[in-house]
Amino acid sequence: MEKALICNIEKYATHDGPGIRTVVFFKGCPLKCIWCSNPETQSKKNELYYSKKKCISCGSCIKSCDKNVLSFEDNLIKIDRDKCNSCGKCTDICPTNALNLVAKEMTIDEVFKEVIKDEIFYSKSGGGVTLSGGEVLSNGDFALDLLKKCKENYINTAIETSGFGETETLLNLSKFCDLVMFDIKNANNEFHKKFIGVDNSLIIKNLENVSKVHDNIIIRIPLIPNFNDSEENIKKVIDLALKNRIREIHLLPYHSLGKEKYNQLNRKYDLNDMKTPNKDKTEYLKEVIEKSNIKCIIGG
């Protein structure tokens, strides 16, 4: 039976497509955006969250682990993440929930059972289900079958994608989507490679290809100070939108709400000094977009 690692199923979301929605967050993403607010979705393997604030250093987790993954260091738990197989024994025994698995392995039926619970909210609000990540294209087969199941039950569907994945997968998913939300992080290839780790040519190609077969696409720009918030970059994204007959762009201002997740994954957060984008500048960039007769929303 087909399964996928699901990090979260968020209910009552209002910024990931029209109406009230349920957002399914897949685990696994090929990109390494330095501002990522969901670092737990990057790796394809399951991982442990560890909250130092909740830990009482009782040692129960260490005794439960037969792989010798856990040990004490400075009266806190140290995790050998390379050896951990995410069996969950330590999370089950922890009395304070200081240890938690990032994701849960679920079948399509299990995920659908959760999303169908809020069917009445979808019908009343014009909402539905949005598949996100991580990267939905990295979970293509599972995502495709889940989208089909939603459409069979007359549920509005959407995907959020970075566009970095197989073109065939994107096109197949788009057939069962009412809306495609497509990230363009930077139109400049050198900036893209430096801050995200990959060339953006495949992303641009995929945007062009999906726009030929789908007429409801929104470009989304995570607005990061000193990376892609220049008027020059915004105008290049406008050109991409116009070229591909896309009439809506969303600006998603940077925030640091995911910082605690880095701490719990024992990863370094490189943007401690980064501030949220200036509101006046963000409004100005919105005006630049709207002058091209493209609808623009700040915050999605």
Q: What is the pLDDT of residues 212-257, one digit of tens each?
A: 999 999 999 999 998 999 999 999 999 999 999 999 999 999 998 8
Q: How far apart are CA 288 and CA 252, in angstroms?
A: 15
Mean pLDDT of all residues belonging to the chain: 96
Q: Residues 130-150: what's their mean pLDDT?
A: 97
Confidence (pLDDT) at 195: 85
Confidence (pLDDT) at 24: 99
Confidence (pLDDT) at 6: 99
Confidence (pLDDT) at 197: 87
Share of the chain above pLDDT 90, in %: 93
Task: Compute the C-alpha angle 55/58/61, nearest 5°.
Answer: 80
Per-residue confidence band for 85, with pLDDT thresholds at 50, 70 and 90: very high
* Beta strands in the chain, from DSSP E residues, in sequence order: 3-13, 21-26, 48-50, 70-73, 76-79, 99-101, 104-107, 128-132, 156-161, 179-183, 217-223, 248-253, 295-298
pLDDT of 191 > 90? The answer is no
Q: Is the pTM of this model over 0.85?
A: yes
Confidence (pLDDT) at 235: 98
Q: Are 203 and 166 in contact (CB under 8 A)?
A: no
Q: What is the pLDDT of residues 30-79, one digit of tens each?
A: 999 989 999 999 999 999 999 999 999 999 999 999 999 999 999 999 99
Confidence (pLDDT) at 300: 72
CA distances from 278 to 258, 275, 282, 293 (A): 20, 8, 6, 24
Per-residue confidence band for 123, with pLDDT thresholds at 50, 70 and 90: very high
Share of the chain above pLDDT 70, in %: 100
Per-residue confidence band for 194, with pLDDT thresholds at 50, 70 and 90: confident
Query: Could you tell me which of 133, 140, 147, 175 has the C-alpha nearest to residue 33?
Result: 133
pLDDT of 1 > 80? The answer is no
Q: Which domains does the chain have, with CATH numbers?
A: 3-44+104-298 (3.20.20.70), 48-101 (3.30.70.20)
Q: Are 36 and 256 in contact (CB under 8 A)?
A: no
Cα dihedral angle (188, 189, 190, 193), rounded to 10 degrees? Answer: 130
